[in-house]
Amino acid sequence: MRKMGCIILIFCFILAAVPVSAASAGPTVAAKSAILMDIATGTVLSEQNSHEKLAPASVTKVMTMLLIMEAIDTGKIRWNDTVTASETAAAKGGSQIYLKVGETMTVTDMLKSIAVSSANDCACALAEHIAGSEEAFVQMMNEKAQALGMLDTHFVNCTGLDDDPNAKDHLTSAYDIALMSRELMGKHPDIKQFTTIWMDTVRNGTFGLSNTNKLVRFYKGATGLKTGFTSAAGYCLSATAQRDGMELIAVVLGAETSQDRFQACKQLLDYGFANYAIVRPRPESAYSVPVKLGKTGQVAVTPATDPALIVDKVQLSQVDIQVQLADTVTAPVSKGQRLGTMTVRVGEQILQQIPMIATESVQKKSFWDVFVDVLRQIAMAKPK
């Protein structure tokens, strides 16, 4: 029997999926800190000292690229805008494309240089182009970190370089890097046109770029994202990959060698793809709720969201969907009005509850409509 979905279970309504497995079950890797996170749900699948505050080196540029993509997607800057290299940008050390003071390049080519070759000079030039100065851009980075819940993070530059006295305060964690990586890859997928490049050129083909993330070439389904290294930070990597509709983030900080960071991320990603799957539960049939005093006699209902849930593969056959709807609803009915609940379970565990909502509005019958209905019923009544 249907029950009033707008009354029952409302106190236990869950907005997000509950993690389905203990994160500690994942592999132990050769790094100071590590984490494996699902992009669609944010579920942590494995972690190792994931909140330890460490220097991230050039993995910092995940946040730099995130703010650049936000500026592009909001129209603040455009792909073909011309960016001029300042003296400050041209003086950046470390990985670079050796910009000269006053040299111009498009946003597209500078972002490509950051994503593929970790160009510090381009990162600074774009930071200045967006915010006016690197300092103002770093303030934006820290504000965005707070908005994303990155509680272990404080940035002092946009590159991750540690050649400044303040660099000792430039710290984050594997967990926080996963959060900003998820935000970048999940909400700004156009970045993948750069993070998946193995080799390319800028300056009209005269300067070659080679991706510092070797997984882009050698790991099936790799979509990015960013390497980092300084002598203080060690070898770091935020690696993303997608298979069978599931995209994962593996973050490693403080590995002793470059090979260690790639191997550690491969271990984490392999574990995730081998053991978990994404499911997008939908009702097996169409549903509707009868409408009293409505200009139409029923209203179709649908889930309010199209949820993505991550499930242990051994539990896939146990996923069960139950829909509870109101017996009736009295007009007027508003489009989007909650009329029930879809509950997704694995065994006895509730993974998620999604409101079932009206797909359209239903107006209440007027007095004249009711009068006409009564006349019609009288006319159709069989004489005794």
Question: Cα(63)–Cα(61) distance, rounded to whole angstroms?
Answer: 5
Phi-psi category of 347—alpha, beta or left, where left has phi over 0 and alpha has psi -120 to 50?
left
**Which member of 32, 46, 61, 117 is catalytic?**
61
Q: Among residues 50, 58, 117, 173, which one is catalytic?
A: 58
Task: Please tell me the distance from the alpha carbon of residue 375 to that of residue 346, in angstroms, as a whole number.
Answer: 52
| CA Rg value for the chain | 27
Measured in whole angstroms, the distance separating CA 367 from the mean position of its chain's CA atoms is 51
Residue 201 bridge partners (DSSP): 208
Cα 69 to Cα 189: distance, rounded to the nearest angstrom = 9
- 220 among known catalytic residues: no
**Active-site annotation holds for 238:** no
Closest to 173 in 3D by CA, of 146, 187, 160, 154: 154
The answer to whether the bond into 332 is cis (omega within 30° of 0) is: yes
**Whether 61 is catalytic:** yes
Given the residues 50, 86, 95, 118, select the one marked as catalytic: 118
Residue 115: which of 64, 188, 156, 161 has the closest Cα? 64
- Residues 6 or more apart whose CB falls under 8 angstroms from that of 20 comprise 43, 276, 310, 311, 312, 315, 346, 349, 351
Give the C-alpha separation, 24 to 323, whole Å.
33
215/198 Cα distance (integer angstroms)? 9
Indicate which residues carry an active-site annotation.
Answer: 58, 61, 118
